[in-house]
C-alpha cells in the first residue's frame, strides 16, 4: 500500500507516528502531526461498491450540503483487510442538530456521546460530529456496534465534558475539527478516515502501517486512555480475537495494574461488551484471551474462582465446548442466545452451590434453582443478566436431573416440556465435555426419533390408555368438601 502526499498546502509527515511512547498531552501529540498522510484512491483497495448504499447516501448528502463527510473507524479497517463490515459509521463537521435537519429519518441519541442515527429500514448509519481537543483524551463511540439508543435526551446541565473521580469520562460533547477528532479514537487502526470528496484515506497516526502489521496500538498514553474508559481493555481483546491482530506491548502492559477498573463499569454496559465478545463468532478465542490477559476474573469472578480450584478440568472443557458450539452456530447463521452461554459460563459455580444444598437434603431441581439465584445475584454486580435470560437459564439447569429418570410416562411427558429442547442441547454439551454420562444423552436422542408406540415400549409403559408404567394405578383423590359441595356464589 503506497502512501501518497498530504493535502494541498500541507507538509507530508512520516507514514508512522509515535502514538504511545509516553504520557504526552493532547496538544503535544497534535503539534507533532498537524496534517495527515493522504492515501490516494489508487493506493488503497477500498471501492465504493463494497460500501453500504445507505452509508453512501449519508456521505453524499452531507457533502452536497457543504459539510465534510468521512467513513471512519472499524468499517474502514475491515475494508482494508478484506472483511465485510456489518456497520458503517460516519464522522462529520455538521453538528448533531444540523444532521437531524438534513435527515428526516434520523434521531438524536445518547447522553455520554451526542450522536445522530439515520435509519434506513433495519439499517442504522451512525453519524458523529468531530470532537474537540483537550486533555484528558476522551473515548470514542463504539464503532463496531450500534450505540445504545436507550438514553436519547442529553442532560441539560450545561456540562459538556464530565469525568468521575477515577478519571473515567462520563460525558463528552465538545465539538471540534477532524484534526482534533482523530486523537479521540482509541486504536490507530480505528483512526482512519475515508473521504467521500476524493475517495482517499486520511491517516494521522500510522494506522495504515499498523493494519498492514496487524497490530493493535493505542493512541496516546495507554494508562491514561484505559483510566478514561476501562472498557478499552475489553475492546482490545475483542479486536485481537476478531481480527487476529496482536496487541502492541504498550497496549497490553497496563492490563495487570488497571484491570480492576472494570469492576467500576456499570453492569449494563459490561453486558453489552459480553454480547460483542461472545456472540459474534469468536467467543472461544475471546475467552482464552481474557484469561491470558487476566481480565476474565473481573467479569466472572465466581467462575474464575471455580476454574482455579477445580482438579478435573470439567468446567473448563464445558466452557470451551459451549463457546465452540456457539461460534459454529454464528458461522452457520443459526440463532444463538445469551441465556445458553450464561448457563455454560456459570455452570461451575452453580454446581458447587447446588452440591451444598444436595448434601443438606434439598430436592435436586429445587437445589439447582436456588443455587442459580445465588450465583446470578453475585454475577449481577459485574455483568447484569436480565431476567429474560436468568429465568430461562434457571429452568434449563433445574431440568438437568430429570434426564436421569427414563422410565414411565413422565419420561415421555418431559419430551413436550417447553424448555426440553434447550435443556436437551445442554445435556448433549455436558456429555461432550465429559460432565455427563454419554449413555444418557444417547438414550434421549434415540427416544425422540422413535414413533410413539416404540417410545412406550422403550420406556416399559403400559400401552393401555391412562395406564401407569410404575406399579398399580393410584386412587383418584376426592375433591375437598364432597361431591355435592356447591361453588361459592359470585360476588355482586
CA dist 404 and 436 (Å) reads 10
Task: Determine contact, residues 146/126, Cβ cutoff 8 Å.
Answer: yes
Give me the torsion for CA of 45, 145, 376, 422, rounded to 10°: -70
Answer whether residue 9 shows pLDDT above 70: no
> Grid coordinates standing for 250?
504498550
| DSSP three-state, residue 262 | helix
In terms of pLDDT, which residue wins out, 14 or 123?
123
SS3 label, residue 45: coil
Q: Higher confidence at residue 17 or residue 343? A: 343
Q: Would you state the cell numbers that stand for residue 35, as one nine-digit string?
A: 496534517
The whole-chain average pLDDT of the chain stands at: 85
**pLDDT tier at 294 (50, 70, 90 boundaries)?**
very high
Per domain, the residue ranges of the chain are 26-262, 307-459
Residue 142 has pLDDT above 90, yes or no: no
| pLDDT tens string 48-88 | 999 999 999 999 999 999 999 999 999 999 999 999 999 99
Rounded Cα distance, 221 and 223, in Å: 6
Average pLDDT over residues 373-388: 97
pLDDT at 431 over 90: yes
How far apart are alpha carbons 421 and 69 in whole angstroms?
Answer: 49
Stretch 434-463: mean pLDDT? 87
Active site residues: 87, 89, 186
Q: What is the pLDDT of residues 173-200, one digit of tens each?
A: 689 999 999 988 999 999 999 999 999 9
Which comes out higher in pLDDT, residue 22 or 48? 48
Write the CB contacts of 334 (distance below 8 Å, at least 6 apart in sequence): none
Predicted confidence (pLDDT) at residue 238 exceeds the cutoff of 70: yes
Report the pLDDT value the prediction gives residue 214, as an integer from 0 to 100. 97
Confidence (pLDDT) at 110: 86
Q: Answer whether residue 19 shows pLDDT above 50.
A: yes
State how far the Cα of 349 lies from the Cα of 301, in Å rounded to an integer.
10
pLDDT of the residue at 350? 97
The answer to whether residue 143 scores a pLDDT higher than 90 is no
Assigned CATH for 26-262: 3.30.460.10
Taking alpha carbons only, the member of 248, 189, 295, 232 closest to residue 286 is 295
> In which element (H, E) is residue 403 found?
none
CA 32 to chain centre: 36
Residue 27 has a pLDDT of 53
Q: Is domain 307-459 classified as CATH 3.40.50.360?
A: no
Q: Is the pLDDT of residue 24 over 60?
A: no
Amino acid at each position: 500500500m503506497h502512501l501518497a502526499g498530504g493535502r494541498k498546502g500541507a507538509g507530508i509527515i512520516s507514514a508512522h507516528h509515535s502514538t504511545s511512547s509516553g504520557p504526552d498531552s493532547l496538544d503535544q501529540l497534535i503539534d507533532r502531526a498537524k496534517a495527515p498522510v493522504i492515501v490516494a484512491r489508487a493506493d488503497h483497495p477500498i471501492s465504493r461498491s463494497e460500501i453500504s448504499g445507505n452509508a453512501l447516501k449519508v456521505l453524499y448528502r452531507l457533502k452536497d450540503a457543504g459539510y465534510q463527510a468521512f467513513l471512519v473507524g472499524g468499517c474502514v479497517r475491515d475494508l482494508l483487510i478484506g472483511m465485510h463490515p456489518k456497520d458503517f459509521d460516519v464522522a462529520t463537521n455538521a453538528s448533531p442538530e444540523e444532521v437531524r435537519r438534513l435527515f428526516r429519518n434520523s434521531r438524536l441519541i445518547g447522553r455520554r456521546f451526542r450522536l445522530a442515527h439515520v435509519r434506513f429500514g433495519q439499517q442504522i448509519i451512525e453519524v458523529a460530529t468531530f470532537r474537540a481537543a483537550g486533555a484528558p483524551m476522551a473515548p470514542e463511540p463504539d464503532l463496531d456496534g450500534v450505540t445504545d439508543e436507550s438514553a436519547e435526551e442529553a442532560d441539560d446541565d450545561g456540562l459538556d465534558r464530565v469525568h468521575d473521580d477515577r478519571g473515567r469520562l462520563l460525558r463528552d460533547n465538545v465539538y471540534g475539527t477532524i484534526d482534533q477528532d482523530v486523537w479521540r479514537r482509541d486504536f490507530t487502526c480505528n483512526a482512519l478516515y475515508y473521504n467521500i470528496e476524493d475517495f482517499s484515506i486520511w491517516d494521522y497516526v500510522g494506522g495504515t502501517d499498523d493494519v498492514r502489521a496487524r497490530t493493535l496500538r493505542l493512541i496516546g498514553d495507554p494508562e491514561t486512555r484505559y483510566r478514561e474508559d476501562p472498557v478499552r481493555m475489553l475492546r482490545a481483546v475483542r479486536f485481537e480475537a476478531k481480527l487476529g491482530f496482536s496487541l502492541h506491548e504498550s497496549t497490553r502492559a497496563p492490563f495487570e495494574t488497571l484491570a480492576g477498573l472494570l469492576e467500576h463499569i456499570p453492569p449494563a454496559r459490561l453486558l453489552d461488551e459480553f454480547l460483542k465478545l461472545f456472540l459474534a463468532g469468536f467467543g472461544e478465542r475471546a475467552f482464552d484471551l481474557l484469561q491470558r490477559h487476566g481480565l476474565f476474573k473481573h467479569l466472572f469472578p465466581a467462575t474464575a474462582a471455580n476454574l482455579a480450584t477445580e482438579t478435573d478440568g470439567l468446567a473448563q472443557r464445558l466452557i470451551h465446548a459451549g463457546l465452540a458450539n456457539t461460534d459454529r452456530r454464528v458461522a452457520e447463521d443459526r440463532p444463538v442466545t445469551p441465556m445458553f452461554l450464561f448457563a455454560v459460563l456459570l455452570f461451575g459455580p452453580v454446581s458447587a452451590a447446588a452440591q451444598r444444598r444436595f448434601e443438606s437434603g434439598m430436592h435436586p431441581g429445587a437445589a439447582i434453582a436456588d443455587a442459580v439465584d445465588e450465583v446470578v445475584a453475585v454475577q449481577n454486580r459485574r455483568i447484569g443478566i436480565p431476567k429474560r435470560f436468568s429465568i430461562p437459564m434457571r429452568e434449563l439447569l433445574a431440568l438437568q436431573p430429570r434426564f436421569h429418570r427414563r422410565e414411565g410416562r413422565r419420561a415421555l411427558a418431559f419430551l413436550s416440556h417447553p424448555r426440553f429442547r434447550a435443556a436437551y442441547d445442554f445435556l448433549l454439551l455436558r456429555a461432550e465435555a465429559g460432565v455427563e454420562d454419554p449413555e444418557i444423552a444417547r438414550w434421549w436422542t434415540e427416544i425422540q426419533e422413535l414413533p410413539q408406540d416404540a417410545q412406550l415400549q422403550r420406556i416399559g409403559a403400559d400401552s393401555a390408555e391412562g395406564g401407569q408404567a410404575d406399579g398399580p394405578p393410584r386412587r383418584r383423590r376426592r375433591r375437598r368438601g364432597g361431591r355435592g359441595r356447591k361453588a361459592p356464589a359470585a360476588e355482586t
